[in-house]
Amino acid sequence: MELERGGEPVPAVKFGLGAVVAAGLVGMALYASASGHWAAALGGGLIVAATFTVGGGLVGFLFGVPRLLTSGAAAHPDDQGATSTAGYAPNTNLEQVSDWLTKILLGAGLTQIGTLPHRLRELGEWLSPVVGGAAGDRGGAAGFVSALAVYYTVVGFVAGWLLTRLLLARALTAADRQTLADSVAKTVVAAPSLGFGPERVRELFETGVEGLRVQALALLQGAPDARNVDLITQAIDRHLSPFELLQALLAAKAAAGLPDLGEADRAALRSAVAYKLRNTRTVPPYSRRRAVAEDVLKRLPETAAAPALIPTQAQGEAEALIPTQAQGGAEALGRIPARNGDQPEAAAKD
C-alpha cells in the first residue's frame, strides 16, 4: 500500500488519521454531554488525550528514526573506506539513542505485560477526577479515562512513526544530497590535479556504491577521458538515483567535446541519452536533467547516412547499371534512371 507521494502522506493516510482522531473527540464530547460537569469533563478529556498522544508520538518517533546506510563516498574519492554519501561522517547519536531506548522499552514492556491490566486500573482511578469523576473512582470515569489513554497513545504512536518515516528520512536525505553535491562540485574542479588515471576511475565506478560512482562521474566531468565513456553510458542506462543520472549527463556533456571520441561510443552515448529523454518520470519536463540531456544531444548530432540509390563515382556514370527483364536477355545490363523520375544530378546534389 502506498503511504506517501512526493514526500508527504497520501490523502488516504491523512484521512484515516483524521478520522481516528475525530472518533476519539466525538467519544469525549458524548461522555461530557452525559456528565454533570460537561465543561470539566471535556476539558480534562482533551488534556488527557493530548498528553498521551504526545507520549505515544515520542515512542513512535524513536521507532521511526531512519538508519544511516553505510553506502556512500567521502569528499575525496580516494577514500574507499568512507561510510557516508557526504563529505563528513554524519552524527548518529539520535539513531543510537533511538535504538537503545527502543530495546529498553520493549524489554521493560515484555517483563511487565502481566501487570498491564492492574496498571491501567490504577491509572484510571488516579486520573478520574480530571474528567469529572471522584478520587479513587472505580466506575465509569476511571474506565473512560483508561480507554482514552490507551486510544490516544496508539494514535500518537502511529502518527509519530509514520511522520518520522516520511518526513525525517526525506529531510535527512535532502541534507546529505546537498552535501554530496557540494563535494562533487569540488571534485569536478580539482579533477585535473588529482591524478586519477582511467583505471582508477573505473575501479571507483565498479565498486557499485552510489557515492563512489558519483565521484567517478565527477572526475569524468572535470577530466573527461574517451577510454571511460562506456562508464557514462552505463550510468545513464542503469543509474542508482536521479542525482547520479544528473552527474552522468553532465559527464556526457563534457565527453561530447572529446576529439578522440570514437563513432561507436558517440552513437552509444547519444542512444542512451535519447532513450532516457523519452521517460518523463525519470527526466521530467523543465528539470535540469532534461536541459542537460537536450544539450548533450545537440553536441552529439546524428551522422547522416548516405542514400542507397545515389550513384557513386566508382560507377563511372550518373546512372546505375543493373540487369532488366525488359531487355529480354539481349543485353546483360540496362541503364535505369534514378527513382521517382529524379535526374541523377539532382539526386547527387541532395
55 shares a domain with 168 = yes
Domain boundary residue, one of 177, 210, 234: 177
Residue 311 within any structural domain of the chain: no
Residue 150 within any structural domain of the chain: yes
162 shares a domain with 38 = yes
Average pLDDT over residues 2-6: 56
153 shares a domain with 40 = yes
Residue 274 within any structural domain of the chain: yes
137 shares a domain with 10 = yes
pLDDT of residue 139: 62
Q: Which of 147, 210, 137, 141 is nearest to 173 (CA)?
A: 210
pLDDT band at residue 141 using 50, 70 and 90 as cut-offs: confident
Which residues on neighbouring strands pair with residue 322, listed in sequence order? 334
Give the count of domains, the chain.
2
Average pLDDT over residues 108-122: 76
Residue 56 within any structural domain of the chain: yes
219 shares a domain with 142 = no
- The answer, as to whether pTM is greater than 0.85, is no
Domain boundary residue, one of 299, 321, 343: 299
Of residues 152 and 37, more confidence is placed in 152
149 shares a domain with 51 = yes
How far, in Å, are 105, 106, 182, 271 from residue 98 at the CA level?
10, 12, 29, 48
207 shares a domain with 173 = no
61 shares a domain with 207 = no
283 shares a domain with 144 = no
Which residues on neighbouring strands pair with residue 5, listed in sequence order? 8
pLDDT of residue 298: 92
Q: How far apart are CA 272 and CA 257, in angstroms?
A: 17
227 shares a domain with 112 = no
- Pair 111, 122: CB distance under 8 Å: no
Of residues 65 and 277, more confidence is placed in 277
Residue 273 within any structural domain of the chain: yes
Residue span of the structural domain in which 145 resides: 4-177
**One-character DSSP codes across 267-283:** HHHHHHHHHHHT-TTTS
Residue 323 within any structural domain of the chain: no
Residue 164 within any structural domain of the chain: yes
103 shares a domain with 8 = yes
Of residues 67 and 80, more confidence is placed in 67
- Pair 60, 157: CB distance under 8 Å: yes
140 shares a domain with 52 = yes
Residue 190 within any structural domain of the chain: no
Per-residue pLDDT at 9 exceeds 70: no
How far, in Å, are 25, 36, 57, 153, 181 from residue 133 at the CA level?
19, 10, 27, 21, 60
Per-residue pLDDT at 342 exceeds 50: no
